[in-house]
C-alpha cells in the first residue's frame, strides 16, 4: 500500500517489513533516528511495549495504551495509534449508524479498545464487551469509564455466552469481532445470528481474500457486513501522512491492498 503511494507521488522512499523479536525491540526502536527512518508501524506483540517505552505519546496512544505508529520527528520518537480513527472512518463510510444505539464488541485486547473508542465517538449509548476471559472485559470497562473520562457510554462486560443471548442480540446495531478467532482457526464461537435485527451490521477486524469464519453466517442471512480491509487501508493512509507529511493520492493505497487480497470492494 505504502509503496504504491510512493510510486504514484514519485517519491524516492520505500516501506519495508522488519521481523523484530521482543528481545530486540528496544534496540531496534532506538536505532530509528540513527538510521534516518521516518517512521514505523508496529504489530503484535509490540504495540503495548512501545506505549510503555516511548516518552512522547499522543492522547489516543495514551488512552489505548498501545502504539501502532512511531514517527521520527527530527530525532524525537512520537507514538500514535491510528486504529480507532481507521475503524471509525470505515464504519461511517459503510453507513453504520450508532447514535444512541447498542453495539457488541467481541474481544478485550488492544483492537477491542480501539473498537470501543470508535463506537463511543460514533455516539453509541451502550457497548457489551463479550470476551472469553470475562475478567479482562471487566477490567477494560473499568479502565474506559474511569471517573476522569468525559465519555458517556455504558460498557457491559460479559463472557462469550452473550453471543447466544437472543434478547440481547435483538437490539444490536453492530456486532464486531475484535478477537483473533478466525485468524488461525477455521471456526467462530457459537453466535445466534438469526436473533439480530435484519439491519444489524457485522464487522470483522480480520481481513482475507475469502469470507472470514465470523462473517460466513451473517452473509448467508443477508446481513450487512464488512471485514477489516477498510480499517487497514484507512489506518495505513493516516500513517503515510504522519510519516511523509503529505497525503497519499486518493484510492491508490486501497487499490493496492485490494489487488493483493485479489478482490475489489
Ligand atoms: P490481542 O490483544 O492479543 O487480543 C486477542 C483477543 O482475542 C482477546 O480478547 C482474546 O480473548 C481473544 N481470543 C484469542 N483466541 C481466542 C479463542 N480461541 N477463543 C475466544 N477468544 C479468543 O489481539 P488484538 O491486537 O486485540 O487483535 C485482535 C484481532 O484484531 C487480530 O485478529 C488482529 O489481526 C485484528 N486487527 C485488525 C486490524 C485492522 O487494521 N483490520 C487492526 C488491529 C487488529 P482472551 O482475553 O480470553 O484471551
Residues 17-45 have a mean pLDDT of 96
pLDDT in tens, 156-205: 999 999 999 999 999 999 999 999 999 888 899 999 999 999 999 999 99
Number of H helices, E strands in the chain: 12, 10
Between CA 134 and CA 129 the distance in angstroms is: 9
Residues 33-42 have a mean pLDDT of 97
213 C-beta neighbours (distance < 10 Å), count: 17
Q: Which atom of ligand 1 is nearest to the CA of 44?
A: 25
Q: What is the pLDDT of residue 198?
A: 97
130 C-alpha to center of ligand 1: Å?
A: 12
47 C-alpha to center of ligand 1: Å?
A: 13
Residue nearest to atom 43 of ligand 1 (CA): 111
Is the Cα torsion angle 83, 84, 89, 91 positive or negative in sign?
positive
Residues 43-60 have a mean pLDDT of 94
| Percent of the chain predicted with pLDDT > 70 | 97
Do 257 and 233 form a contact (C-beta atoms < 8 A)? Answer: yes
Q: How many Cα neighbours within 13 Å face the side chain of 58?
A: 12
Cell numbers that stand for 55 in this block? 516518552
pLDDT in tens, 219-229: 999 999 999 99
Looking at the DSSP bridge assignments, the partners of residue 174 are 103, 201
Q: DSSP state, 5?
A: H
Q: What is the pLDDT of residue 264?
A: 53
| Percent of the chain predicted with pLDDT > 90 | 89
Among residues 37, 1, 2, which one has the least CA distance to residue 20? 37
Cell numbers that stand for 216 in this block? 460466513
Q: What is the pLDDT of residue 131?
A: 98
Q: List pocket residues of ligand 1, CB cut-off 6 Å.
A: 44, 83, 107-112, 131-133, 136, 178-181, 183, 205-207, 228, 231-232, 235
Pocket test for ligand 1, best of 60, 81, 179, 226 (most atoms within 8 A of CB): 179
Q: DSSP state, 163?
A: G
Average pLDDT, the chain: 94
pLDDT in tens, 77-109: 999 999 999 999 999 999 999 999 999 999 999
At 44, is the pLDDT very low, low, confident or very high (cuts 50, 70, 90)? confident
Q: What is the pLDDT of residue 148?
A: 56
50 C-alpha to center of ligand 1: Å?
A: 18
Q: What is the pLDDT of residue 149?
A: 61
Pocket test for ligand 1, best of 68, 69, 111, 215 (most atoms within 8 A of CB): 111
220 C-alpha to center of ligand 1: Å?
A: 24
Q: What is the pLDDT of residue 146?
A: 64
Residue nearest to atom 28 of ligand 1 (CA): 179
47 is catalytic: yes
Among residues 144, 132, 71, 142, which one has the least CA distance to residue 107? 132
Q: Which atom of ligand 1 is nearest to the CA of 207?
A: 41
Amino acid at each position: 500500500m505504502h509503496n504504491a503511494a510512493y510510486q504514484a507521488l514519485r517519491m524516492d522512499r520505500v516501506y519495508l517489513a522488519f521481523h523484530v523479536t521482543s528481545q530486540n525491540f528496544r534496540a531496534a526502536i532506538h536505532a530509528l533516528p540513527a538510521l534516518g527512518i521516518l517512521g514505523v508501524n508496529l504489530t503484535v506483540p509490540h504495540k503495548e511495549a512501545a506505549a510503555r517505552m516511548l516518552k512522547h505519546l499522543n492522547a489516543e496512544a495514551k488512552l489505548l495504551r498501545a502504539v501502532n505508529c512511531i514517527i521520527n520527528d527530527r530525532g524525537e520518537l512520537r507514538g500514535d495509534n491510528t486504529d480507532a480513527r481507521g475503524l471509525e472512518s470505515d464504519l461511517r463510510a459503510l453507513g453504520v449508524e450508532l447514535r444512541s444505539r447498542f453495539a457488541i464488541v467481541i474481544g478485550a485486547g488492544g483492537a477491542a479498545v480501539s473498537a470501543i473508542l470508535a463506537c463511543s465517538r460514533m455516539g453509541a449509548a451502550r457497548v457489551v464487551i463479550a470476551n472469553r476471559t470475562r475478567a479482562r472485559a471487566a477490567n477494560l470497562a473499568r479502565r474506559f469509564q474511569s471517573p476522569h473520562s468525559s465519555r458517556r457510554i455504558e460498557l457491559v462486560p460479559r463472557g462469550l455466552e452473550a453471543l447466544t443471548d437472543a434478547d440481547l442480540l435483538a437490539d444490536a446495531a453492530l456486532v464486531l469481532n475484535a478477537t483473533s478467532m478466525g485468524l488461525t482457526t477455521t471456526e467462530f464461537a457459537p453466535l445466534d445470528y438469526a436473533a439480530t435485527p435484519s439491519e444489524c451490521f457485522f464487522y470483522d477486524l480480520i481481513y482475507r481474500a475469502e469470507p472470514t469464519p465470523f462473517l460466513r453466517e451473517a452473509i448467508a442471512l443477508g446481513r450487512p457486513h464488512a471485514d477489516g480491509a477498510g480499517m487497514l487501508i484507512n489506518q495505513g493512509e493516516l500513517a503515510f501522512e504522519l510519516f511523509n507529511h503529505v497525503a497519499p493520492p486518493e484510492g491508490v493505497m486501497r487499490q493496492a491492498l485490494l489487488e493483493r487480497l485479489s478482490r475489489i470492494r
